[in-house]
């Protein structure tokens, strides 16, 4: 923890025209969540008192996403995109009364590490700029340092050859005390070709005011910004490589690591086994010792120790699997709780249901949970046996130790220990099959 209280300002107002998309750039997904979600997740590691996201282009969409990603975050609106310093100024009214360290992050820069943010938050200087040693400095702004810290930021177009040779460059991320931002930001002008107010002017103005300005450095990979679809794809590859390596380091078995896809918040316990071509969407927890067989898709679900899932299974949001549950091939579970030892072998849909312990669900079972207007629940007791091809028309309850006959349509509650049959009586016509086929063949030949 830092000694000073912390606030975050996340800049997420840009259109991202190079993405060639109607969707705001910060809402394009990386690791299963919008780009801005990565910045918010890293920043939350500092336990900030306040989080402000500055929205502009597609503000309504951004606000909706933030409400899901970080419901406590506040939204500041930058109606005109007049530069980064202008964006930060829109956030300041929401920090009224806050006295502490403010970190300014970017919604399209997803990889800055929690440790790096910790250094920015705890540094004793008045203004701290995040820099990195670039393999190819290109057109980045150069950070010129001296005995008294950061002397100036020099844009490439303004740099002489000696300055362009500097490999320490500006990431754009910085931290400053709230009081410093309130004092210095109004001094930033827009006398430049774009007519915009740039946050990169803040360190120079702070130094001219007698404040201490310094640089904290990180690995170049942390500063990767996303501006194009190609960069987004490269970032996804980098994210997945890190997630796979971390899972292996944590004691998870990945049968074919290159084919397993993780989300930002995927949580898998040690000694879990993950087969090939498994995709984890957001909100998945797999406990120690569980096994996810190949070609499964999981999202918003919890898999307890000893459970097995798949192959070719889908767990949707709200799926809760107890210990030693088995969910087999071509089974879909949504918003349902399966207690310990439940077996759902194949070709089944369970939605809006609760299944008691040690119950067996036969192949082809469907909980008919939607009537075209509302969703309804199915309750199945412990140690029940649901015959193959049973349609459970919700709302309905099947009691403990009860059974349903194969092919039944169950529309009424079944008491404990009862057998329910809900199918039409079979009628057999001796010899009719042969006569019918002969008649059909004659008709076809005529």
β-strand 320-321 against 302-303: which pairing, if any? parallel
Distance set, CA 345 to CA 273, 301, 332, 396 (Å): 19, 19, 11, 22
Question: Which stretches of 134-185 are assigned E, i.e. beta strand?
Answer: 142-146, 149-154, 168-177
CB 242 within 8 A of CB 222: no
Using the CB atoms, write b or e for 3-18: b if 16+ within 10 Å: ebbbbbbbbbbbebee
Our answer to whether residue 57 is catalytic in this structure is no
CB 143 within 8 A of CB 150: yes
Active-site entry in 123, 346, 376, 383: 346
Q: How many C-beta atoms lie closer than 10 Å to residue 356's C-beta? A: 21
**What DSSP string runs through 78-114?**
-SS---HHHHHHHHGGGGTT--SEEEEEETT-----H
Q: Considering just the CA atoms, what is the radius of gyration of the chain in Å?
A: 30
Counting beta carbons within 10 angstroms of the beta carbon of residue 263, is it exposed (0 to 12), middle (13 to 18) or buried (19 or more)? buried
Closest to 278 in 3D by CA, of 251, 234, 311:
311
d(CA 402, CA 358) in angstroms, rounded, equals 12
Distance set, CA 156 to CA 37, 134, 135 (Å): 31, 14, 16
Token duo for residue 325: 């549950």
d(CA 246, CA 116) in angstroms, rounded, equals 19
Question: Which stretches of 282-400 are assigned E, i.e. beta strand?
Answer: 285-286, 291-292, 297-298, 302-303, 308-309, 314-315, 320-321, 326-334, 337-338, 343-351, 353-355, 360-361, 366-368, 378-380, 385-386, 391-393, 396-398
CB 129 within 8 A of CB 216: yes
SS3 218: strand
Residues classed as catalytic: 346
């Amino acid at each position: 923890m830092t000694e000073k209280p912390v606030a975050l300002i996340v800049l997420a107002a840009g259109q991202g025209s190079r993405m060639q998309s109607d969707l705001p750039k910060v809402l394009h997904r990386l690791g299963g969540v919008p780009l801005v979600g990565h910045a918010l997740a890293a920043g939350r590691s500092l336990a900030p008192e306040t989080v402000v996201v500055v929205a502009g282009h597609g503000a309504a969409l951004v606000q909706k996403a933030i409400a899901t990603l970080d419901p406590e975050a506040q939204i500041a609106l930058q109606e005109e995109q007049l530069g980064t310093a202008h964006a930060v100024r829109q956030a300041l009214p929401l920090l009224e009364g806050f006295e502490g360290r403010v970190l300014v992050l970017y919604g399209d820069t997803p990889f800055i590490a929690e440790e790096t943010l910790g250094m920015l938050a705890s540094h004793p200087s008045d203004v701290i700029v995040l820099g990195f040693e670039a393999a190819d400095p290109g057109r980045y702004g150069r950070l010129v340092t001296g005995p008294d810290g950061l002397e100036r930021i020099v844009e490439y177009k303004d740099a002489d050859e000696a300055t362009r040779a500097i490999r320490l460059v500006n990431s754009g991320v910085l931290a400053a005390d709230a009081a410093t931002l309130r004092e210095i930001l109004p001094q930033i002008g827009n006398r430049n070709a774009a007519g915009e107010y740039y946050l990169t002017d803040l360190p120079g103005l702070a130094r001219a005011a007698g404040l201490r300005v310094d640089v904290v450095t990180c690995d170049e990979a942390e500063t990767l910004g996303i501006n194009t679809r190609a960069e987004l794809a490269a970032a996804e590859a980098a994210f997945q490589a890190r997630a796979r390596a971390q899972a292996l380091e944590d004691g998870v078995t990945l049968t074919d690591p290159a084919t397993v896809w993780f989300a930002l918040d995927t949580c898998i316990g040690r000694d879990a086994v993950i087969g090939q071509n498994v995709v984890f969407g957001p909100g998945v927890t797999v406990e120690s010792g569980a096994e996810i067989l190949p070609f499964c898709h999981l999202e918003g679900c919890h898999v307890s120790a000893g459970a097995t899932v798949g192959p070719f299974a889908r767990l949707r949001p709200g799926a809760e699997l107890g210990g030693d549950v088995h969910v087999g091939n071509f089974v879909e579970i949504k918003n349902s709780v399966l207690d310990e030892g439940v077996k759902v072998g194949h070709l089944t849909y369970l939605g809006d249901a609760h299944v008691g312990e040690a119950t067996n669900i036969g192949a082809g079972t469907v909980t008919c949970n939607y009537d075209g207007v509302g969703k309804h629940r199915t309750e199945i007791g412990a140690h029940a046996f649901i015959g193959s091809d049973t349609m459970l028309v919700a709302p309905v309850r099947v009691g403990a130790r009860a059974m349903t006959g194969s092919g039944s349509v169950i529309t009424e509650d079944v008491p404990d220990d009862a057998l329910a049959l809900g199918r039409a009586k079979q009628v057999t016509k001796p010899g009719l099959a042969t006569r019918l086929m002969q008649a059909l063949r004659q008709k076809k030949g005529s």
